[in-house]
Amino acid sequence: MILDDILSRTAERVESIPRARGEYSRGTCRSLEASIRDVKYSPSPRHAIIAELKFSSPSRGSIRPYSDPRGLALEFVQNGCIALSVHTEPHYFHGSPEDLHAVREAVAVPVLRKDFIIDDRQLEESLDMGADAVLLISGVLKEKLPSFVERCAELGIEPLVEVRDRKDTEIALQSGARIIGINNRDLTTLQVSLRPTIRLGEMIRRSGRLVVSESGILWPYDVRLLKDYCDAYLIGTSLMRSPSPAKALEGFVFG
């Protein structure tokens, strides 16, 4: 399966990351949670969009010819995103730490590191890259998830915990994560449906956590369809495939 291949490649990358010695922190991170709540409780008719810079993926292949991530990030912020997501997985998503660092230096909104985190050294590495938040996949980390969430708290970096089904969700809720992302893409088959957000979102929100719907959001109509089940939306492919990504983003923010 493609997920197994990605995790195998990730394990190889992890081997090159040195272990930190002593205290390790970078100071205050920009808060993804606060950015989502600012929009959620704002009277303005605006949707909380996390715009993702992603040039390739296993399901789509090449999405957009590589171009200046800094320039794209600035355009996304100018057109209303509340945060940015940057892929750093190099083999299947053609991402890099340099892209994330360039984006973080260019913008004032929170920046999420999107990758496959399997070792706590990657959390410290994420701070070095400049990430304010990091994706943790419940279905990958399983029973190790709570310790990763705890380590994020120690480092001062926010975890966005991704779930796909009820079992993942129970683990995520027990971990104490405050932001839970629902992946509408099945990582084993790569098939997409918005039903996971509809099925799981209300239950997660009742627990007082913030919900981010991820993947498969193609049109502003999808945002309106999901608004009763989530608090924010992570959108990548439909933006990056557009002839004008920033203009497409504006439609999701205000559509």
Catalytic residue annotation = 52, 54, 114, 162, 183, 214-215
**Beta pairing class for 61-62 and 56-57:** antiparallel
- Residue 82 · residue 109 · CB < 8 Å: yes
Nearest CA to 235 among 117, 133, 152, 112? 112
211 beta partners: 180
Q: Rg of the Cα trace of the chain?
A: 17
- Residue 172 · residue 160 · CB < 8 Å: no
- Residue 145 · residue 138 · CB < 8 Å: yes
